[in-house]
Amino acid sequence: MNVTNIILTFVVLILAGVLIRYFVQKNKNATPEETVDVDDKTFTIEKMTEFVKKRLDEITKINLYDIGLSEEELKRRKAKKYELKKALKGCTYGDVNDKKYVKELIYDLLLKEYGVTEINISRAIPFDIPSLLTSQDKFDILLYEYKKDFGYEALTQIIKKYNLATLKYVAGEAKPCYVITKEEISEIYEKENLTLDFQDKLNVLVQRIYQHYKGYSSIDEIRDMNIDGVSGGVSGLPESFLSQVAQTDGDYLKQITEYKVPRACDSIWIMFQGKSIRLAFLSFGKESELKRVCQNIYKYNNPGQLSDTNGYKINEMKDGSRVVVVRPSMSETWAFFVRKFDVKRATLEQIVTIPGKEDAIDLLKFLVKGARIISLTGEQGCRKNNNAYGNDRKHIRNNEPSYYRNCI
């Protein structure tokens, strides 16, 4: 019996070894399945944004006590987790430092975990084929390149270099207006003839993902620039009107679509040196994106909930910008107004630009020196002075040029 058992055991071991070798050889010769690079959709901005959201959510919600870390490592990981949570919250308030931290983390996630390379990055944004780039793509690349040299003066440099802040006639308008069109952005992009390396491309992609995740959509980088203000949803047809027209008058809706009448979510305006300029080449894309921006942009210091019964909020952002947000049913659409107060850079010579401005500036000097009551009135954006002449009269009496500042 013992000999029989030994023989049977030996036979079973041989058969098991043969089967294991067979399956190993079979798997070795099999064609490997594509798990990541299945198709072009794997490297779309939408897929990458979903991945970033999921990973950051996992990082912030992981229970560090279940991993079995040492005491020193536990403290270090807890500090990093707290820092990330703080940055994710602070970046929605307009904090540029928190924004930089979150973008650096997204950069590492895409490069090290998602597998973005110089080959597949062009599937998200076609950097190498200018004809396929959208106006948003071209503007993002231009602003990124100029920001490397000019920082937060990048947008100002583009507008001044190409003389974009001028009145012009556009199709469908009877009067000239301040507008920057898609055609102008395309012409500027061709003239610049920019060459991007992989790091530049990835930074542009990271900004696009960030602005749809935690940022302010298409105006995210514009809001950080040194301009007088930015607003969205303040013009164009509201979605409620379009849905009502679709039910009652199909022909009218067809005309609106045919002539590409701007919607409220296509409305993006900046205030630049006292001029309200419409950025016709940018859009929020859909009303839900405009709504998301409106719901996040005013929340610094918890001013309360924007609701149907309380349809507006007036607050300030972390950098001191004043923000006003409105929503239906108080207004026809979701909309916001951000006014930036660049007090240190504004001078009377920049503000007063009419012919004979020297006399007007001299008159203001003598009025303030004489402690006269001054009333400055006018429409929004006409470059009135809010608070410069009340608090520091001693500077103007002493002829200190640094006094002549303005809150725009």
Tens-place pLDDT, residues 289-316? 999 999 999 999 989 889 988 999 999 9
Q: E strands, 37-159, where? A: none
- pTM (predicted TM-score): 0.76
CA pair distance 146, 152, nearest whole angstrom: 9
Q: What phi and psi values does residue 226 have, to the nearest 5 degrees?
A: -85, 75
Token duo for residue 233: 């949803």
Q: Are residues 275 and 165 in contact, defined by beta-carbon separation less than 8 angstroms?
A: yes
C-alpha to C-alpha distances, 343 to 21, 181, 346, 391, 406, nearest whole angstrom: 77, 30, 6, 14, 5
Confidence of residue 51 (pLDDT cuts 50, 70, 90): very high
Confidence of residue 28 (pLDDT cuts 50, 70, 90): very low
Q: For 95-146, write each residue's pLDDT tens digit.
A: 999 999 999 999 999 999 998 998 899 999 999 898 999 999 999 999 999 9
What pLDDT does residue 147 have?
Answer: 95
The average pLDDT across 52-64 equals 89
Q: Is the pLDDT of residue 32 over 80?
A: no
Q: Is the pLDDT of residue 172 over 80?
A: no
What pLDDT does residue 105 have?
Answer: 94
CA pair distance 248, 6, nearest whole angstrom: 89
Q: 252-257 — which CB contacts under 8 Å span 24+ positions?
A: none
Q: Are residues 223 and 94 in contact, defined by beta-carbon separation less than 8 angstroms?
A: yes
Name residue 325's beta-bridge partners. 313, 336
Q: Which residues contact 271 (CB under 8 A, 6 or more apart)?
A: 227, 228, 229, 230, 231, 277, 339, 381, 408
CA pair distance 253, 258, nearest whole angstrom: 9
Q: For 338-372, write each residue's pLDDT tens digit.
A: 998 655 556 777 667 677 888 888 888 888 888 88
Q: For 197-219, write each residue's pLDDT tens digit.
A: 999 999 999 999 999 999 999 99
Mean pLDDT of the chain: 81
Q: For 6-26, write each residue's pLDDT tens digit.
A: 777 766 677 766 666 655 454
Tally helices (H) and strands (E) across the chain.
16, 8
What pLDDT does residue 41 have?
Answer: 60
What pLDDT does residue 394 have?
Answer: 40
**Diameter over CA atoms, the chain:** 123
- Bigger pLDDT: 247 or 43? 43
Q: Is the pLDDT of residue 27 over 80?
A: no
Q: Is the pLDDT of residue 86 over 60?
A: yes
Give the SS3 label for residue 18: helix
Q: For 224-243, write each residue's pLDDT tens digit.
A: 999 989 999 998 887 766 66
> What single-letter DSSP state applies at residue 109?
I
Confidence of residue 389 (pLDDT cuts 50, 70, 90): very low
Whose CA is closest to 324, among 304, 303, 338?
Answer: 338
CA pair distance 83, 79, nearest whole angstrom: 6
C-alpha to C-alpha distances, 273 to 150, 353, 394, nearest whole angstrom: 18, 10, 28
Q: What percent of the chain has pLDDT over 70?
A: 76
Q: Is the pLDDT of residue 278 over 70?
A: yes
Confidence of residue 397 (pLDDT cuts 50, 70, 90): very low
What pLDDT does residue 363 have?
Answer: 87
Residues in the chain: 408
